[in-house]
Homo-oligomer: A and B are copies of this chain.
Amino acid sequence: MERITKQSTAILNAIQAAQRPLLAPEILEAAALEVPGMGMATVYRNIKSLVDNGMLTTVYLPGEIRATSLHTTTITTISTAPVATKCLTYTIALGTCNSWLPKGFTVESHEITLYGVCETCKLNPLPPSA
């Protein structure tokens, strides 16, 4: 990314406002409110640039394609997808751990995903295949 455009700004705004990672279609939907007529290709091109520049992080979750979030090293809500007993997922930054690794392997970065149920979903569980 070399230039700041209204499209790239709208994308960052959308993700920042959501306070959670968004899927590409969600980003388009939100950003298009700010920049009518915006296309999906622009979303993908900008996500790629912004990720390359360390401004966004791409998260891969089972059942979803790619979610994109602001790049931070603290707790980040990852998903609120309507899956039966897995309503929320969190990624947490931890210290490096070299146990169990093969000799000579050096850890450069890591990612931890915890699957579980939040308070609200415990009270209102979704039907098995909703």
**Cross-chain contact B107 with A116 (CB below 8 angstroms):** yes
Chain B residues in 8 Å Cβ range of A109 = 114-116
Whether a CB of chain B sits under 8 angstroms from the CB of A86 is yes
Whether a CB of chain B sits under 8 angstroms from the CB of A6 is no
Residues of A within 8 A of B (CB): 58, 60-62, 75, 85-86, 88, 90, 92, 97, 100-120, 122
Can you name 30 A-B pairs with beta carbons within 8 Å?
A58-B62, A60-B60, A60-B62, A75-B100, A85-B108, A86-B108, A88-B102, A90-B100, A90-B101, A90-B105, A92-B97, A97-B114, A101-B114, A101-B116, A102-B119, A103-B119, A104-B118, A104-B119, A104-B122, A105-B116, A105-B118, A107-B114, A107-B115, A107-B116, A109-B115, A109-B116, A110-B112, A111-B112, A111-B115, A112-B113
